[in-house]
Structure 1
Amino acid sequence: MRIATTTIFSLGSNALQMHQSDQAKLQAQLSANRRVLTPADDPIASARILDLAQAQSINGQYATNSATADSFMRLSESTLQQVTSTIQNVQELAVRAGNPALTASEKKTLDAELQGRYQELLGLANTTDGQGNYLFSGFKGDIKPFTETSFGQVTYQGDDGKRLVQISDGRQLPISEAGSDIFQKIKNGNGTFVTAYNASNTGSGIVGPGEVTDPNKWALAPAPRDFSIRFQVLPDPANTSKNITTYDLVNNTTGVSLIDGAAMPRAAGTAFPRTYAEGGDIEFKQLATDPVAVPPVVAWDYGIKTNVKGVPAATATTNDSFSVKTSSDVGLFATLGALSSALNTYQSGPTGQAAFQNQLNTALSNLSNSLGSVVTSQAYLGARMNETDSVKDTTEDMKLQYTKTRTALEGLDYAAAISDFAENQMVLDATRKSFAQVQDLSLFKYI
């Protein structure tokens, strides 16, 4: 069988190129520490590796998002902690202001400190994250949330939205709190109803905040649940040197007594249905001791009670009274404004002291509710920060698992690769030598 010289050269050249290509591939794998360099090396593994690379990228972004969310919420939580401390300082100031030994000028001195606390709170409410985004403006991160028109009159310019950050496939985490929820939408009174004195009162009566004995019954009370406690003071028939104080519970909407159904106002000099006992419970329900009304009053129970301390007053034309209404929203800054007004308008004497104490009690109650609102927001932030910590652990675990799986798919067995490299190098050297010897078989060498 005859073999052409060109065939011998072609076979040798092809073998040499093949071994050189194999050697180059092995060298590239060793340099990159990867088995799969191109999809042709392992199409199925390449597809899996591509999916894993995308999953790793998304997982890394979730980790970045979690860190960003955690940083923002920690700043918010730190700011709210300062708000908490400032409100507590205002509460201490209000308690000090209640000292009856303080004069009117001393109470005005306390107001100077109060105004400083007010400005401090306003600054905290308008805190930014260092990049110009306001913490408490809802979705409107670039809008200053609170603007002041006058002392105590603050307008919220943000919205009620919460900024969301994607921290995992199925979770968008709220990282912000709407300033309206923290600083404005705060229920006054005890959170269910609010008691207040009438500015025209002339006695020394001080109304308590009251309590709810049955929330369901209060919810069924006739809307808009606007009532008043009215007092009457008349000479005691048994001892004209003494007075008997009585009171009535009136539905301000209908102008009718809840106790006996009588229309208001009653005839001058008429005693009211219940006898007043200082500090005793004033219950908004039908009592066995109530007078029998004609026509009879349907049994009623609104599930609340309060009390009045001091000495209410009444004249032939006026009666001291206190209102009882459903709680409504009051802003923290409005509460501070009302407290400032009370400190500046204090008047000595039983009536003035009672008016001031009623205003002070209202302020303390609202401050307590404001503090509760801030603490609740802190609790929500704390829960979400715990969630970001949990997500961080999960993303780290996923990162490790993705890396492990990807390494198994494209990782290089160094021992086997080095052995193959050495073997292929030996074969390549042999191919080169044999090819060189084949080149000497040409007849032209002997011409």
Structure 2
Amino acid sequence: MRVSSNTQYIAGTYSLGSQQGLLTRLQEQLSTLKRVNRPSDDPVASSQIINLMQSQSRNAQMIENAQTVVSKLSMSESLLHQGSEVIQAMKTLAVNAGNGPLKDTDKKALQNEFRERVRELVGIANSTDANGDYLFGGTQTQSLPFELKIGSTISIEYKGNYGQQDIQVSVSREMSVTEPGAVIFGGSSAAALPSPLPTPPEQPNPNLMSPGNELLQTIRRFDEILSGIGVYDDKKPAVPDPADNPLNEKKYPSYADSLAAVLDGFDAGLQQLLTVESRMGSRMTEAEALQSVGEDLKVQYATSIGNLEDLDIPAAISDFQITVQALTASQKTYQQVTQLSLFNYI
């Protein structure tokens, strides 16, 4: 084998290039404090890091979703708590209405106070979140859920639907963040619908409905009592059985019986509201637990990624110093070799 000056030049150049490339990679690692900056640094570790980062991103989204669920449910739960206090105040007014004979002026004063409570309750039912979306309109978040009209009588109608807004809080779990207002407060102040209620077309889950919730109807009945309207209880016929009423006289339930029915209605309405509030509380607790699990996974993902890509700084510094020394030696050797020539010996 013949060794020429060109062969020595090529070998020296290759050695310098390799040392310089290694030095550049070590400088980059020390600059970023990462062992893997590109797939070519460690293909296997790079692939694992990509998979972990994708899982990390999904987990971060689930944590954010769980936070949203907690926030929305917390606000709704707080509003329902206020609503329960308003219903309790309405019931107290109904009790006061039964404390001995009342003058027309007393009834009028009670009615005025009662109607203010009705406005307060409907205001709660028409509450919005921070984005301006109505909380109790089902999936119709941009239109007013309840319409209130107060004249000689009270009319309250639910204008929303029976859908629920769901948010995914884990890979296998979606959670409802709303309850239809009709399920909480009732659908109408008009006479009770036949039981069981027909399933509304927008209703995804018939179990949500509570045919016994007659809160809005109870509100109308009590207002009519205070107004002096004769029909106090829609459940009792205005015309009794002919056997009990041979003269076929038109009779209405007594004042005391009507108030008793109203009190029962307020109790049933309050119970339904508390049931929904409890459901929301359970979901909020679950969302908080999932959020906590997500935070733990966040730490685990970060640790796993760090183990794969983080730089062993002392070892890298040592390698860097060795590489600098090796490069310096290679440069001196290359310089001496390139100065050798056979012509110097002729």
Q: How many residues align?
A: 304
Which segments of 5 or more consecutive residues in structure 1 lack a partner in the other structure?
187-192, 194-326
Kept in 2: contact 1:104–1:346 (CA 8 A):
no
Aligned to 2:175, the other structure's residue is in SS state strand
Question: 1: CA distance between counterparts of 2:55 and 2:143?
Answer: 36
d(CA) in 2 for partners of 1:445, 1:363: 121
What is the match of residue 333 of structure 2?
434
1:369 pairs with 2:251 = no
Hey, which of these two has a bigger chunk of helix by percent?
2
- Partner residue of 2:131? 131
Q: CA deviation at 1:7?
A: 1.7
The 1:354/1:106 distance shift into structure 2, 3 A limit, reads farther
Partner residue in 1 for 2:216:
333
In structure 2, the residue matched to 1:155 is: 157
Determine if the alignment matches structure 1 residue 90 to structure 2 residue 95: no
- For the residues of structure 2 that align with 1:133 and 1:430, how far apart are their CA atoms? 72
Report how far residue 444 of structure 1 moved. 6.7
Deviation at 1:116, TM superposition (A): 0.3
- Choose the corresponding residue for 2:306, options 387, 407, 427: 407
Distance in 2 between residues matched to 1:155 and 1:344, nearest whole Å: 20
Quick one: which amino acid aligns to residue 292 of structure 2? D
Superposition map of 1:417-432 within 5 A: 417-432=316-331
Partner residue in 2 for 1:394: 293
CA distance in 1, matches of 2:96, 2:178: 35
Alpha carbons of 1:443 and 1:359: their partners in 2 closer, same or farther (altered >3 Å)?
same
Q: 1:22 to 1:356 in 2, by over 3 A?
A: same
SS across alignment from 1:342: helix
Alignment of 1:56-67 (within 5 A): 56-67=56-67
2:172 aligned partner: 170
- 1:349-407 Cα shifts (integer Å, max 9, x gaps): xxx99722111111110001110011111100110110011001110111111111111
SS at structure 2 position matched to 1:167: strand
- Runs (4+) of structure 1 exceeding 4 A deviation are 327-330, 443-447
Distance 2:253 2:272 in 1: 29
**SS of structure 2 residue aligned to 1:155:** strand
Cα separation, 1, equivalents of 2:127 and 2:343: 94
The residue type paired with residue 184 of structure 1 is G
CA shift digits 1:398-433 (9 cap, x unpaired) = 111111111122222112111111111110111111
Identical counterparts, % of pairs: 36
Deviating more after overlay: 130-139 vs 177-186: 177-186
**Residue in 2 aligned with 1:5?**
5
Assess if the C-alpha contact under 8 Å between 1:152 and 1:334 holds in 2.
no
Cα deviation for residue 153 of structure 1 reads 2.0
Aligned residue for 2:254, secondary structure, equals: helix
Q: How does 1:34-433 map to 2 (within 5 A)?
A: 34-150=34-150, 151-184=153-186, 329=212, 331-345=214-228, 355-433=254-332
Q: Which has the higher strand share?
A: 1
* C-alpha contact (below 8 Å) 1:152/1:335 kept by paired residues: no
Alpha-carbon separation, structure 1, partners of 2:211 and 2:4 = 106
Aligned partners of 1:13 and 1:116: how far apart in 2?
Answer: 92
Partner amino acid, structure 1, of 2:308: L
- Bigger CA radius of gyration: 1
**Unpaired stretches in structure 2, ≥5 consecutive residues:** 189-194, 196-209, 231-250
State the one-letter code of the partner of 1:379: S
Evaluate the alpha carbon distance shift between residue 174 and residue 417 of structure 1 in structure 2; reply closer, same or farther with a 3 A threshold.
Answer: same
Check the 8 A contact 2:213/2:268 in 1, yes or no. Answer: no
1:64 Cα deviation from its structure 2 partner: 0.5
Q: Deviations over 1:108-132 (max 9, x none)?
A: 1110000100111111111110212
Could you tell me the TM-score, scaled by structure 1's length?
A: 0.64
CA distance in 2 between partners of 1:106 and 1:164 (Å): 48
Two-structure CA RMSD over aligned residues (Å)? 2.4
| Distance change in 2, residues 1:346/1:106 (3 Å) | farther
Contact 1:126–1:136 (Cα < 8 Å) also in 2: yes
Task: Kindly indicate whether the alpha-carbon contact (under 8 Å) linking 1:346 and 1:353 is maintained by their aligned counterparts in 2.
Answer: no
